Amino acid sequence: MTTNVPLLSVKGLSTTFTLGNYSVRAVRDVSFDIARGEVLGLIGESGSGKTVTGLSILRLLPNHADMRADVLMFDGKSLADMSDAQFRDLRGRRLAMIFQDPVGSFNPAKTIGWHIREAIERRAGQLPNSHTEEARNLLTDVGIKLPDRVLNSYPHQLSGGMLQRALIAMVIALRPEFIVADEPTTNLDNIVERQILNLIRTHQKRIGASVLFVTHDLAIAGEICDRIAVMYGGEIIEIGSANDVLKNPLHPYSKALLAASVSLENREDYLYELPGEPGMAAPGQGCCFAPRCSFVTERCRTAPPPIRFAKSNHSARCVLDVE
């Protein structure tokens, strides 16, 4: 990392979805920084707000969503002050996203080669050549052994793993500085999953990109992330280095996630299960995890928990003593 100034700085990010008279604040007061070249993992159960956080930063929310942030800075410039046209240009070149389902990232009427050449032209501008050679090299770089065949294929003609590789090649073609990777190995078998993870990490290092890596899998987070932020009920409830969070979790929810992961990895007869269902506390009314917590006190139910630090770079939002 070449500088102490973060590439991306997020402070007080909140996103609300409204349908008729019903509103849900899916992301609440989320704050974090990502350094240049860093991979920050965002982990938690489904519905915790991970994907919405990434979509909020990249302005990819539906019309019935409202996003607000106290600070949203990228490379020293306020993203909140940019017009939609300015932001679209930035998102197409310096910001990118690897989606969980790659099918939605491709126009079904266009070949894979067309998509990758378009990405190259967006980055490099209109050049005399058609960028076919670079597109071929990009597919080779992501482990596709017959690049010409894939270049001439349509999205529906490729398997899920092959299409995810093509999407990674398309993102790499942009050479973005910041990437949101939204559970990019979901629904892939274990062998392909490891290959895709290695590709993301290898090319992230090669182009020097920062990554917000969304996942529910602690084992994956431990392999690919430098730091980890744990989300629950739309809030970040713990953040620290990957080693600290996975080896010495502070928050009861983080400890429960780790216990479940270890139980699954060890193939135990009875898998660890966290009782209850994910939920949210009303704004300003206590800890969002209180209904499922084994250490809950009356204070947990009535007042927002403070942020406590075990180290300068490892903290948890909890009334428990984290020392």
- pLDDT band of 267, cuts 50, 70, 90: low
Give the start-to-end residue ranges of the domains of the chain: 8-94+176-317, 108-173
| Rounded to 5°, angle at Cα 217 from 156 and 190 | 50
Q: Which two tokens stand for residue 74?
A: 């990228």
pLDDT tens digit sequence for 215-247 = 988 888 998 999 999 999 999 999 999 999 999
pLDDT tens digit sequence for 4-20 = 789 999 999 999 999 88
- pLDDT band of 31, cuts 50, 70, 90: very high
pLDDT at 115: 94
* Superfamily of chain region 8-94+176-317: P-loop containing nucleotide triphosphate hydrolases (3.40.50.300)
pLDDT tens digit sequence for 81-95 = 999 999 998 998 899
Would the CA dihedral through 164, 167, 169, 171 be positive or negative?
negative
- Cα distances from 258 to residues 105, 220, 290, in angstroms, run 33, 12, 18
Highest mean pLDDT among 62-76, 181-195, 302-316: 62-76
The angle, 0 to 180 degrees and rounded to 10, between the axes of the packed helices 132-141 and 160-174 is 120
235-241 and 227-232 beta bridge pairing = antiparallel
pLDDT at 98: 92
pLDDT at 264: 63
